[in-house]
Amino acid sequence: MFSRFSIAACTALTLVAAASPAKADPKGFLETLHRHTTLASTSPGNGDLNPYAVVVVPHDMGVLKKDEVLVTNFNNISNLQGTGTTIVAYSPVSGNARLFANLPSNLAACPGGVGLTTALTILKKGWIIVGSAPSKDGTTTTKGDGCLILLDANGKYITTWKGPLINAPWGDIASVDQGDKATLFVSMTGFDLPGPNVVDPQTHYPPILQKATVLRLELSIPDNSPPVLEKQTVVASGFSARADRDNFLFGPTGLALDDDGTLYVTDGYDNEVTAIDNALTRTEPVTRQNDAVGRVITKGGLLNWPLAMIWVPGHHLLVANGRNGQVVEIDPAAKKQIYAQWVDADQAQQPPGNGDLFGLAMTPDGKSFYYVEDDMNTLNVSQP
C-alpha cells in the first residue's frame, strides 16, 4: 500500500457558457461542482505511470470492496507508452490506493505484450476485462495488435481475447450486463497504424487512417466459470486514427450507451461526438459518410480532442478534453454543449492541463465525478 496524497487546495472554478450571455442556459451538472481534490497517487511500487481508465467497483467481489475505484496505468517507470502493466484500487474508506493487478509485460497470449488502456469494465459476477495496446519502445513503431485481458476479482489473470477484429482496444467500455450474459462495446484504434516517424509528404504529419472501429462483443457468463466470448460484430467503422509521438495515438475513445440502444462516441481527431443508432442490434456497421461516422451530435466549440465520456445527471454527457484541462457537458438530445469547466489548470502545460486528463467515472452518490491527472499520476474528484 502506498501513502495517500495530501488533500489539494480547492481551486476556483471557471464555467464557460456555450451560448451567449444574454440567453439563459438550463442548469447543468457542472454548475453544481465547486471543489477539486487530489485523492491518491496512482503509481504503484513498480513505478508505472500515466493513469488512464477510471471505473468504480459495483459491489464486494474477491479482494475488492464496493465503491472502490480501479485505475489502469499505460506507461512503465521509464514513461514509455504502451508498457504499463498495473491496475491500482483506491479505497474511499481508507483514502489509500493499493496494487490490484500486475500483469507480465511480455504476456505471450496478448500479441505484443501488455500496455493497459482506458478499456476497462467490471462485470456483475466479479470478472474484470481490460484492454491492452502494447508497445516495446513507447511508440506505435513497435505497437502490437494487443488484446482484451480477463482477470478475476482477485486480480488473477485468466485468459485473453484476440483476433482480427481486435487491434489496440483503446477507449471506454460501454456495456449492458444482465448477469448471465453481457454486451460490451470497445473502440479499436490500431489497424495499420505506422510509427510516428512516418509522415504524409503533403502535411508533414503522420497520415490519418480512417480505419478505427467500434466492436460489439457478446458474452455468456456461466455461474462459477469465466465469461465466454460468443460473438463479435463491428457496429461502426471509419473513425480517424493517427500515430502521435506525444500521445501514442489519436482515435475514438469515449463510449456511452443510452437506454434506447444509441451508442455515443467521441471522435478525438475529428473533434466531435457522434451517435451510432441501434448499436445493440445492428448487424452491419455504420460507415463514414460526409466526414463522420454516425450522426453528429456536436462538433468543435468547447471540445478540444474529446476523450473519455460518461453519463451525468440530467441525462447529459460529460467529456474530458485531451488538449486542455477542461471537461465539457453536453445535452445529446438538444445536440448542445452546455458548459466547460477547468478541473486541471496546470500552467506547466499550454494550454493549461494539456494532455493531463483521460478517464472519468461518476461517484456512487451521483453528485461528483472521479478523474485522473496524467501529469501528477493522481486520482482526483470534483465535488459540490
Residues 6+ apart with CB under 8 A from 297: 264, 272, 273, 274, 275, 330, 332, 335
Residue 4 placed within a domain: no
Residues 6+ apart with CB under 8 A from 330: 273, 297, 298, 316, 317, 318, 319, 336, 337, 338
Residues 6+ apart with CB under 8 A from 8: 36, 37, 38, 380
Structural domain span for residue 36:
15-383
What's the pLDDT band for 86 if we cut at 50, 70, 90? Answer: very high
Residue 1 placed within a domain: no
Residues 6+ apart with CB under 8 A from 279: 185, 214, 216, 235, 236, 257, 261, 262, 263
Report the alpha-carbon distance of residue 306 to residue 287 in Å, rounded. Answer: 20
Residue 2 placed within a domain: no
**Residue 283: other Cβ atoms inside 10 A:** 7
Which is nearest to 131 in space by CA: 179, 170, 176?
170
**Residue 351: other Cβ atoms inside 10 A:** 15
Per-residue burial over 130-169, b = 16 or more CB atoms within 10 Å of its CB, e = otherwise: bbbbbbbebbbbebbbbbbbbbbbebebeebbbeeebbbb
Digit-coded pLDDT (tens) for 304-329? 999 999 999 999 999 999 999 999 99
Residue 124 grid cell: 456483475
Residue that is written with C-alpha cell 486480480 in the block: 155
CATH label of the domain that carries residue 277: 2.120.10.30
Report the alpha-carbon distance of residue 208 to residue 206 in Å, rounded. Answer: 7
- In the 3-class helix/strand/coil scheme, how is 103-165 assigned residue by residue? CCCCCCCCCCCCCEEEEEEECCCCEEEEEECCCCCCCHHHCCCCEEEEEECCCCEEEEECCCC
Digit-coded pLDDT (tens) for 210-247? 999 999 999 999 999 999 999 999 999 999 999 999 99
Residue 22 placed within a domain: yes
Residue 355 placed within a domain: yes
Residue 51 placed within a domain: yes
Residue 3 placed within a domain: no
pTM equals 0.93
Residue 241 placed within a domain: yes
Q: Any alpha helices (H) in the chain, and if so which ranges? A: none
Residue 335 grid cell: 445536440
Number of domains in the chain: 1
What is the reported pLDDT for 274? 98
Q: Which residues pair with 264 in a beta bridge?
A: 256, 275
What is the reported pLDDT for 249? 96
Digit-coded pLDDT (tens) for 130-187? 999 999 999 999 999 999 999 999 999 999 999 999 999 999 999 999 999 999 999 9
What one-character DSSP code corresponds to residue 32? G
